[in-house]
Amino acid sequence: MTEEQMIQKARKLAAERYKKGEFLCAEAVLYTINELLEKPFPDEIVKLASGFPAGIGESGCVCGAISGGVMALGLVFGRTEPGKKCPKIYPAARELHDWFKKNYKSTCCRVLTRNFKFGSKEHIKQCIEITGDVAGKTMELIFKYQKTGRLKLLFKKLG
C-alpha cells in the first residue's frame, strides 16, 4: 500500500468506526492508526483514549480527535525511557495542532460543536468528518516525520 493509500485508509476507517458507533473520536483515531501500523501495541491501547471524547470527559475542551491523533503520534515518536530524547514528537504534534486550528478555527470541542445540539445528526456528522480528517493527517505526519516511509522498520525496533 502506498503512503497516500494508507492516509486515505486511515481517514476512511476512523470515520467509519465513529459512524458505526464502535468508537468515539479519540478512540477511533488511536485504534485505527495502531491497526494500520500492524498493531505494535495490543488493542487495549484504545483504553487510553476513552476519556478524551467530547472534549475530555464531555467537558467541551480539547477535541477528542486531535487528542487521539497526538496519542497516535506518541505511539511512533514518543519515549519509553526516562530522559530519552524524542525530537520528532513535539514538531509532529504541533503540526497536527496547527493544521487542525487552520482548518477548523479552534481545537475546542465546545466551539466546534456550538452550532449543534449535542448528539444531533449534524453534530455527529461533523465529528465523523473531523475524526476521519485527523486520522488521515496523523498518518500523513507519521510518514513525514519517519522520512523513510517504511514503518515496518520502525516497529521492528519496538519489538
Q: Which domain holds residue 15?
A: 3-158
155 confidence band (pLDDT: 50, 70, 90): very low
Give yes or no for residue 112 having a pLDDT over 90. Answer: yes
Predicted local distance difference test score (pLDDT) of residue 1: 82
At residue 13, φ and ψ (nearest 5 deg) are -65, -45
Dump pLDDT digits (tens) for 1-56: 889 999 999 999 999 999 999 999 999 999 999 999 989 899 999 999 999 999 99
Work out how many domains the chain is built from and give that number: 1
| The CA-based dihedral angle spanning residues 91, 92, 93, 98, taken in that order and rounded to the nearest 10 degrees | 80
Predicted local distance difference test score (pLDDT) of residue 151: 54
Dump pLDDT digits (tens) for 77-103: 999 899 999 899 999 999 999 999 999
User: Rounded to two decimals, what is the model's pTM?
Assistant: 0.91
